[in-house]
Structure 1
Amino acid sequence: MSRPMLLVFLFIMLIITSQFEWRQPLVVDTDMAPIASQKHQQVSRREEAVKEKIILSQEKKIQRLNELVRSLELQLLRCKGNNKTTNDTVSHLTEHILELERKQILED
Structure 2
Amino acid sequence: MSRPIVLVFLLVVLIITSQFEWKQQLVNDMEASPSTQKQNHLLNRDEVVKEKIILSQEKNIQRLNTLVQSLRHQLSQCRGINTNANFSGNSLISNANETERQQIVLQG
Q: Same fold (TM over 0.5)?
A: yes
1:24 aligned residue: 23
Q: Once superposed, what is the RMSD of the aligned Cα atoms? A: 2.3
The aligned residue for residue 64 of structure 2 is: 65
Give CA deviations for 1:7-64 in whole Å, capped at 9, x if unaligned: 3244123311221122113322443464245324412420231122112211221122
Hey, what does 2:78 align to over in structure 1? Answer: 79
What is the rounded CA distance, in whole Å, between the counterparts of 2:12 and 2:31 in structure 1?
29
Could you say which residue in structure 2 is the equivalent of 1:101?
100
Q: Distance in 2 between matches of 1:102 and 1:9?
A: 135
Q: Structure 1 length as normaliser, TM-score?
A: 0.77
Deviation at 1:103, TM superposition (A): 0.4
Q: Match for residue 50 of structure 1?
A: 49
Q: Could you tell me the percent identity over the aligned residues?
A: 36
Give the letter for the 2:101 counterpart. Answer: R
Alpha-carbon distance between aligned partners in 1 of 2:76 and 2:89, rounded to the nearest angstrom: 20
> What TM-score does the superposition give when structure 2 sets the normalisation length?
0.77
Structure 1 window deviating more from structure 2 (28-37 vs 39-48): it is: 28-37
What runs of 5+ residues in structure 2 fail to find an aligned partner?
A: none
| Runs (5+) with no aligned partner, structure 1 | none
Query: After superposition, what is the alpha-carbon deviation per residue over 1:61-94, rounded to whole angstroms, capped at 9, x for unaligned?
Result: 1122112202211221221122112111111112
- CA–CA separation in structure 2 for the residues paired with 1:25 and 1:51: 39
Q: Distance in 2 between matches of 1:63 and 1:12?
A: 75
Aligned residues between the structures: 107
Q: Distance in 1 between matches of 2:80 and 2:26?
A: 81
Letter matched to residue 103 of structure 1: Q
